[in-house]
Amino acid sequence: MLLDATMSCLVEFGHSDTTTQRIQDEAGVSRGALLHHFGSKTELLVAAIHHIADIRVANIDAMIADLGDGPDALRDMVTALRQAMTGPPFQAALELWTASRTDPQLREALLPAERRLGQRIRAVFDEHSGISDPRDSELAFESLLALIRGFEITRNMRSDQRVADLVIDDWIARASAMQD
């Protein structure tokens, strides 16, 4: 409840305006209840980091559950990753990434959760991309993440998402040429 409220506040108010008062109001708990579980805002944010990463991993696992190995596996995998890397959990993670740039304690807490998530995404990519050359696979993986993250970051500034779709289609065509 408190961790979901923290995620909601990060999305609605951003990191700088997410206060413990707002979180406890969102969760409908007293100050004492919040302090019983988390002694500080930093402790709460550290727990929220892991909670958000768990949600994102679960979202990815749900999206890829039915992926096959057929000719559309690459496109289906990219579509699943794009869907899993949207919405409140991703938006809350972005807030935490930005805040961690100048907050070493937050960054230290964020890195293990993001590494775990990155390993899961990489495993999904390796399983469904059909790209066996290690150099090609690394380039394709990193460029795909940069595209997906970049398009999600700029989503609210775009009135037309078709360009993003065209760029992803181009990436898929190029990655398909790398397949075995």
Domain architecture of the chain: domains with CATH: 2-176 (1.10.357.10)
Tracing tokens 């007293």 back to the chain, one arrives at 30
pLDDT confidence tier of residue 2, bands split at 50, 70 and 90? very high
Measure the CA–CA gap between 109 and 88, rounded to whole angstroms.
Answer: 20
**Residue partners of 22: CB distance under 8 A and separation at least 6:** 9, 13
Averaged pLDDT score across all residues of the chain: 92
Going by C-alpha positions, the residue among 83, 57, 77 that lies closest to residue 128 is 77
**Structure tokens belonging to residue 26:** 């969102």
Residue recorded with tokens 């805040």: 99
22-40 residue pLDDT tens: 999 999 999 999 999 999 8
